[in-house]
């Protein structure tokens, strides 16, 4: 051990004093012994100081002699470094824990045999795990044959899908990722909604193809007849007339599909995109179109409260009204009355269309706004429906913050109500004048 200048100074002073007093008193042995004892006491004091500090090493050490001071400082620095490293590691750990807990997917770490080591919050909910389940075999808590195979010792990395043993309507997709040397990560996610969307997409494509195929088959049939036979002008005219309904049907279907796609895929209109609409005028145009469909065989009765303008996108509101009014014609017998009304309510305003038609069975009411859902497929087809009308109505209302209600009695008739909130009604001229 090398001595510092200060220690040399102390040692030198002690030795000089020992020699000096030794010469004076003629007792070198005694004075050197006393000097050595003082030196040992000093060193001992430093040692005690270091031991005292070692019991609470978070404060700065207070050794005075340089060698001891250096030693104590080095120890203090390395303790501080390792404390900082531990703090950093703890911070990383808590961030990682927060991230895993925020994940919507369940994550469980298991040992080779399947015993649970650790899991995140989503696992508590999705796999019904509780903190006390640590150490328990995962397969014994989530009982599904597919899951058992996945959790099994040495199972290869793979994915399985099965109905949740806790809620049969939920489909779980579970993936195993091996973590060498002897752990595995089990990731589970709820794929119910995804599966539903995939099925909806498949159904939608199948429905559209089916809807288009029928009129196309008719058109192709007539075209083949025209090509093969030597037809006179009258027959040709007759065939051309027969070609019109399926062609119109395809056009209506494509137009409704495009409108529905636009309504579904675009954001709700901004306030600046809304016009102040006169529903009375819109309903008059709709009735004129509905009369063509009705061939004058229905009566229209419109009771429209004046001075109740609506904030909306005209083309969308027009489509919604037209669909409800033409449905009233389509599904009610000749001579039926179609009553249309628009009036203020305590919360806003209500538009309604009532018919005296065939009515809708209560079990179908929930589904009639689904795309291509029909209570009676043949009747809808024969009457020229595309199966998309009420889906369009539903989306238009949603984009205008309005709600659809339906009341129906089989064989007696149906009423569609559209409830618009106050926020969709601008101040009327009368209200503005009254406010002044």
Q: Does 368 bind ligand ADP (CB under 6 A)?
A: yes
Minimal distance in Å, beta carbon 193 to ligand ADP? 24
Q: Does 356 bind ligand ADP (CB under 6 A)?
A: no
214 phi and psi angles, rounded to 5 deg: -60, -55
Out of 120, 164, 323, 424, point to the residue binding ligand ADP (CB under 6 A).
323
CB under 6 A: which stretch of 17-25, 354-362, 417-425, 427-435 binds ligand ADP?
354-362
DSSP, collapsed to helix, strand or coil, labels residue 374 as coil
Closest CA to 318 of 361, 233, 259: 259
Closest CA to 178 of 97, 251, 123, 109: 109
Distance CA 369, CA 396 (A): 12
- For ligand ADP, which is the closer residue by CB, 165 or 384? 384
Minimal distance in Å, beta carbon 303 to ligand ADP? 18
CB under 6 A: which stretch of 76-84, 119-127, 334-342, 386-394 binds ligand ADP?
386-394
CB under 6 A: which stretch of 20-28, 224-232, 289-297, 369-377 binds ligand ADP?
369-377
DSSP, collapsed to helix, strand or coil, labels residue 351 as strand
Distance CA 142, CA 136 (A): 11
Q: Does 215 bind ligand ADP (CB under 6 A)?
A: no
Judged by CB under 6 A, the chain residues 10 through 69 that form the site for ligand ADP are none
Minimal distance in Å, beta carbon 297 to ligand ADP? 16
Distance CA 221, CA 223 (A): 5
Total binding residues toward ligand ADP, as defined by CB under 6 A: 24
Tokens of 232: 């006179």
Judged by CB under 6 A, the chain residues 401 through 420 that form the site for ligand ADP are 414
- For ligand ADP, which is the closer residue by CB, 123 or 353? 353
CB 356 within 8 A of CB 419: no
- For ligand ADP, which is the closer residue by CB, 284 or 379? 379
CB under 6 A: which stretch of 24-32, 181-189, 277-285, 385-393 binds ligand ADP?
385-393
Minimal distance in Å, beta carbon 293 to ligand ADP? 11
Out of 357, 395, 397, 420, point to the residue binding ligand ADP (CB under 6 A).
357
Burial 5-44 (b: 16+ CB within 10 A, else e): eebeebeeebeeebeebbeeeeeeeebbebbeeeeeebee
Distances (CA, A) of 278 to 102, 281, 285, 354, 432: 49, 6, 11, 20, 17
Out of 116, 328, 402, 418, point to the residue binding ligand ADP (CB under 6 A).
328
Out of 360, 396, 397, 404, point to the residue binding ligand ADP (CB under 6 A).
360
CB under 6 A: which stretch of 47-55, 176-184, 312-320, 367-375 binds ligand ADP?
367-375
Which segments of 113-232 does DSSP mark as H helices, in order? 121-126, 138-141, 145-151, 192-228
Strand 310-312 with 275-277, pairing:
antiparallel
CB under 6 A: which stretch of 83-91, 121-129, 274-282, 322-330 binds ligand ADP?
322-330
Minimal distance in Å, beta carbon 261 to ligand ADP? 15
301 Cβ neighbours under 8 A, 6+ residues apart: 337, 338, 339, 340
Out of 7, 259, 385, 397, point to the residue binding ligand ADP (CB under 6 A).
385
Q: Does 386 bind ligand ADP (CB under 6 A)?
A: yes
Q: Does 321 bind ligand ADP (CB under 6 A)?
A: no
Judged by CB under 6 A, the chain residues 103 through 142 that form the site for ligand ADP are none
64 Cβ neighbours under 8 A, 6+ residues apart: 46, 49
Distance CA 5, CA 269 (A): 85
Strand 116-119 with 106-111, pairing:
antiparallel
Q: Does 294 bind ligand ADP (CB under 6 A)?
A: no
DSSP, collapsed to helix, strand or coil, labels residue 180 as coil
- For ligand ADP, which is the closer residue by CB, 15 or 339? 339
Q: Does 331 bind ligand ADP (CB under 6 A)?
A: yes
Q: Which residues bind ligand ADP (CB under 6 A)?
A: 323, 327-328, 330-331, 355, 357-360, 368, 373-376, 380, 385-391, 414
């Amino acid at each position: 051990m090398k001595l510092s200048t200060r220690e040399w100074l102390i040692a030198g002073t002690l030795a000089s004093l020992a020699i000096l007093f030794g010469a004076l008193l003629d007792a070198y042995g005694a004075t050197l012994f006393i000097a050595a004892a003082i030196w040992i006491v000093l060193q001992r004091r430093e040692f005690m100081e270091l031991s005292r500090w070692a019991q609470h090493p978070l404060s700065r050490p207070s050794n005075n002699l340089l060698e001891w001071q250096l030693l104590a400082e080095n120890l203090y620095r390395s303790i501080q470094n390792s404390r900082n490293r531990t703090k950093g590691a703890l911070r990383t750990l808590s961030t990682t824990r927060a991230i895993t807990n925020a994940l919507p997917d369940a994550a469980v770490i298991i040992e080779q045999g399947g015993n649970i080591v650790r899991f995140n919050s989503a696992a508590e909910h999705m796999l019904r795990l509780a903190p006390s389940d640590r150490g328990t075999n995962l397969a014994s808590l989530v009982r599904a044959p597919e899951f058992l195979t996945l959790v099994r010792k040495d199972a290869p990395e793979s994915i399985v899908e099965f109905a949740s043993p806790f809620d049969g309507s939920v489909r779980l997709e579970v993936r195993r990722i091996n973590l060498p040397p002897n752990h595995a990560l089990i990731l589970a996610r709820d794929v119910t909604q995804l599966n539903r969307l995939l099925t909806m997409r498949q159904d939608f494509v199948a429905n559209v193809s089916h809807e288009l195929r029928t009129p196309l088959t008719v058109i192709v049939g007539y075209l083949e007849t025209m090509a093969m036979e030597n037809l006179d002008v009258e027959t040709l005219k007759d065939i051309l007339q027969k070609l019109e309904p399926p062609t119109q049907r395809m056009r209506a279907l494509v137009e409704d599909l495009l409108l529905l796609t636009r309504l579904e895929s675009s954001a709700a209109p901004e306030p600046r995109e809304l016009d102040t609409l006169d529903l009375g005028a819109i309903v008059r145009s709709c009735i004129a179109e509905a009369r063509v469909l009705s061939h004058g065989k229905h009566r229209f009765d419109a009771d429209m409260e004046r001075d109740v303008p609506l904030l909306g996108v005209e083309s969308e509101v027009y489509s919604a009204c037209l669909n409800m009014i033409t449905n009233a014609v389509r599904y009610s017998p000749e001579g039926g009355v179609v009553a249309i009304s628009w009036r203020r309510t305590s919360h806003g305003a209500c538009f309604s269309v009532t018919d005296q038609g065939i009515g809708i069975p209560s079990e179908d009411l929930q589904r009639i706004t689904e795309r291509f859902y029909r209570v009676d497929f043949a009747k809808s087809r024969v009457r020229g429906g595309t199966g998309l009308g009420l889906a369009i109505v539903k989306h238009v209302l949603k984009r205008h913050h309005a709600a659809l209600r339906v009341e129906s009695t089989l064989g007696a008739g149906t009423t569609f109500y559209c409830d618009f909130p106050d926020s969709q009604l601008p101040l009327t001229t009368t209200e503005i004048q009254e406010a002044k």
